Amino acid sequence: MTAVHESLMTTEEFEELDRLAGRVSEGVRLEFIDGQLGAKAVPDGDHGCIVEWLIRVLLLVRPELWLFQEQGLKIEGYRSGRARPDGALAPSGAFAGQPEWADPGPVLMTVEVTSHDQDTDRRDREEKPRAYAMTDIPVYLLIDRDSCLVTVHSEPNGGRYERIVTVPFGVAVELPDPVRVTLQTEPLKAWVS
């Protein structure tokens, strides 16, 4: 038996709600994935340090790329969604002239760092990998502070990633093509709270 998910609202209704929420509350970020409305808490300081560390590592090895923080992406491949990954790795300047919800075409990798909220399991470990794979984003990097694991999803095919590699913090992990970077994950241990 196949479950049918009914969308709570249209994409246009979500975008209007997101604009209103941005004016009302600075502590919440909205997303629209799998036809469902989701809210993410504003990241804490350790979350920010992890993103900063990743930017520095990527900049040293791939200076032609940039990790765009909180870039809204149209996740059209699955239920006309809208996502704000913690990071979207793309060529520098890739989003110039783009609207708030940009075409994900230039994105080589999306990054999520888990937050300490009740939806992180469903959102970052289930919905986001499916949505990013449906959009054919080549690599999805999940830095999971709850379990002290780094998971690299790659080779999107038919709404799922064919290759998933998980390592504990402290072990090197390869970000495959088109990213081509090895992450030494030892520094992540400093930002687990």
CATH number for the domain running over 43-191: 3.90.1570.10
Residue predicted with more confidence, 106 or 35:
106
Predicted confidence (pLDDT) per residue in 102-151, tens digit: 999 999 999 999 877 666 657 777 888 999 999 999 999 999 998 999 99
d(CA 30, CA 83) in angstroms, rounded, equals 8
The whole-chain average pLDDT of the chain stands at 83
Q: Is the pTM of this model over 0.75?
A: yes
CB of 189 closer than 8 Å to CB of 169 = yes
Please tell me the predicted confidence (pLDDT) of residue 5: 46
CB of 188 closer than 8 Å to CB of 144 = no
DSSP state, 123?
I
Query: Confidence band (pLDDT; 50, 70, 90) for 159?
Result: confident
For residue 136 the two structure tokens come to: 């054919």
Residue predicted with more confidence, 125 or 97:
97
